[in-house]
Structure 1
Amino acid sequence: MKKAIITTLLISSLLLSGCGNNEAGNGYAAAPEQTGAESSATPEATPAATAVATVQPTPEATTTAAPSPETTAEATPEPEASTRQAYFDKLDKIEEGLSDLKAISDKGTTLAMSVAAVQENERWDKALNEIYQVLKQQLPEAEMAKLKEEQRNWITLRDETAAKEAAKYEGGTAEGLEYAITLASVTRDRCYKLVELYMD
């Protein structure tokens, strides 16, 4: 009887320990022990490996589709038009932004109109200098040297034109006003001309 109880306990403990280590009972197939000949064969996939395998993207899914020519053209504007157009837009905004100076000019005094004209010229002159700096970076050295000489001649012409227009009012209060108005107008025209002729 004692022998039967000990045998039953041993069998029970073996069964319990066997159940705890049984991977098949936990949802996993037990991997058979591989011998040298069997190791080169593909082992059976476990449920976890199967799940991973089904989630892996196919080569078709991982390749990125090349953008169509139409999409590329829309996303990146042509370099020739982009900088030039950006500066035309910038100059147009300066033009639109001059409305704040109209309020000063509308005061009707020569002094107020002169202040507005000087400020307008300063805005155009600043834009001209910015354009010139961009052109220094874009143009080949020989072309830039030519433009530099052209710009010196233009400055002389600008000053002469402003002086000539102002001379119509020589000795009057409008002389300085006309000089400032002409400087602003000629500088504005030069900004547009440089962008049109030289900007990429």
Structure 2
Amino acid sequence: MKKSFIGMAMVLILLLAACGNSSEKSNEESDNQQKETQSAENTNPPEDNEKNDTTEQTEKDSSANTGSLKEDYLKKLNEAKKETEEMRKNPTDSSTYALKNIEGNLFDKWDGLLNEIYQVLIKQLPSDKMDQVRKEQREWIKYRDKTAKEASLKYKGGTQEQLEYVAVENNLTADRCFELVEKYMK
């Protein structure tokens, strides 16, 4: 009984130590992830009147460098794809917790890129074309959520169910980012 208690205590200490290593940045990231998760659950694409300062700065930087946002965003997306592959290949450990943490960070990255791209398209496309993209995006969100749910059901009730859901959601979001840039961006 003592060995079992000591083992449990050690696990608890390690978990608390891991949580204690979080900085204010981690807390900010957690808050941002919660906000993005809430917005992702909303089946409506970002509103036209929402303005992201990061997007504005990215557009200015991109325009100054090459003049083609499409090329700049494709480069940015390819870099994010490489980072995604690297993060998935090299987790801190193979625990479900570590893997969920990676996928959570990837969700932040890809959802942020998707929203950035959407904001650029709002500025670039004529209103009738943007209405088409908006409708398409709403349908895509339903498809993404349904596909991620179906994929996660093979682990129903298990610790990997949520991990699979977010991983599939991330993959589909990455694909959608590339699709929007290649199809609509100038």
Q: C-alpha distance in 1, partners of 2:172/2:85?
A: 19
Q: Does 1:161 align with 2:147?
A: yes
Write the deviation string for residues 99-141 of structure 1: whole angstroms up to 9, x where unpaired: 6634763500011101111111210110000000000000000
Letter of the structure 2 residue corresponding to residue 142 of structure 1: D
**Which residue is equivalent to 2:163?**
177
- One-letter code aligned to 1:110: T
For residues 178 and 102 of structure 1, the distance between their equivalents in structure 2, rounded to whole angstroms, comes to: 13
Q: What residue ranges of structure 1 are gaps of 5+ in the alignment?
A: 1-75
* Larger displacement relative to structure 2 (96-105 or 147-156): 96-105
Q: Percent identity?
A: 39
| Kept after mapping to 2: 8 A contact 1:104/1:113 | no
Match runs of 1:179-198 below 5 Å? 179-198=165-184
Q: Deviations over 1:12-66 (max 9, x none)?
A: xxxxxxxxxxxxxxxxxxxxxxxxxxxxxxxxxxxxxxxxxxxxxxxxxxxxxxx
**8 Å Cα contact 1:135/1:198 also seen in 2:** yes
Within 5 A, what are the aligned runs for 1:5-154? Answer: 82-98=68-84, 101-102=87-88, 105-154=91-140
Q: Which has the higher contact order (CA 8 A, sep 6+)?
A: 2
Point out where structure 2 has 5 or more consecutive residues left out of the alignment.
1-64
SS for the counterpart of 1:180 is helix
Structure 1 runs (4+) greater than 4 angstroms displaced: none
CA RMSD of aligned residues (A): 1.9
Three-state SS of the structure 1 residue aligned to 2:158 is coil
Highest Rg: 1 or 2? 1
* Aligned partner letter, 1:101: M
- Bigger helix share: 2
For the residues of structure 1 that align with 2:97 and 2:176, how far apart are their CA atoms?
26
TM-score norm. by structure 2 comes to: 0.61
Q: Tell me the number of residue pairs that the alignment of Structure 1 and Structure 2 aligns.
A: 122
Output the TM-score relative to the length of structure 1: 0.57
SS of corresponding position for 2:93: coil
**1:83 shift after superposition:** 1.7
| Equivalent position SS for 1:107 | coil
- 1:93, CA displacement in angstroms? 1.5
